[in-house]
Amino acid sequence: MKKLFLLLLLSLPLKLSAQFWLTREEKYFFVATGLDLRNAVFGGTVNPASYDGTFSGGYRNGGFGVIATYENFTGIRYESFGVCPAWVIRPGKMLIPVADLSLSFIKRPWKVYPSLAANGIIEYHFDRFFIYLRGEYRWRTDYDFFQASVYGGIAVKFGFP
């Protein structure tokens, strides 16, 4: 009897910590804004340190999501916009890894180019918002090379009742 009581007592923190890592929403819309941290701190391959902003909106339903993105970098006259199918690795948790594939276009003053990127995202969820850190590896078809970037930002969730 004492061993059973001890076992139940020891399993209680595991149960409480598992509930701590769970969130309520697995199906929601969100809007987000962020910036390219690498460009803001170190600069890029063709520019000094400057602001490169991102705006996005999306929908999540359990392990799948879709994100529409827009990026504006006025310092080098660069814009991109696209759609990203996303795979949520641990839906319903507070710390969520996400992988997505960005199917996008790069708009330069002289032409519009198709582009492709692979993204790895780590999100930390609160009740109605989350913060994120996103690593991106993009095929820059406007210059024909691959570029790595790191973005950070915040998103607001709009859940279902």
Q: Write a three-state SS string for 20-75.
A: HCECCCCEEEEEEEEEEHHHHHCCCCCCCCCCCEEEEEEEEECCEEEEEEEEEEHH
The hierarchical CATH code for the domain 2-159 is 2.40.160.20
Q: How far apart, in whole angstroms, are the C-alpha atoms of residue 142 and residue 110?
A: 10
154 or 40, which is more confident?
154
Whole-number average pLDDT of the chain: 86
Return the minimum-mean-pLDDT range out of 37-46, 106-115, 150-159: 37-46
Partners of 159 in beta bridges:
28
pLDDT the model gives residue 31: 98
pLDDT tens per residue across span 103-152:
999 999 999 999 999 999 999 999 899 999 999 999 989 888 998 999 99
Q: What does the pLDDT read at residue 29?
A: 97
DSSP assignment string, 105-125: EEEETTEEEEEEEEEEEEEEE
CB 103 within 8 A of CB 113: no
Q: What is the mean pLDDT of residues 66-87?
A: 95
Average pLDDT over residues 34-54: 89
Domain limits of the chain?
A: 2-159
CB 79 within 8 A of CB 70: yes
Percent share of the chain, pLDDT over 70: 83
Write down the pLDDT at residue 18.
45
> What is the model's pLDDT at position 154?
98
Q: What is the pLDDT of residues 85-107, one digit of tens each?
A: 999 999 999 999 999 999 999 99
Q: Is pLDDT above 90 for 1?
A: no
- Compute the average pLDDT of residues 15-25: 48
The number of beta carbons lying within 10 Å of the beta carbon of residue 1 is: 5
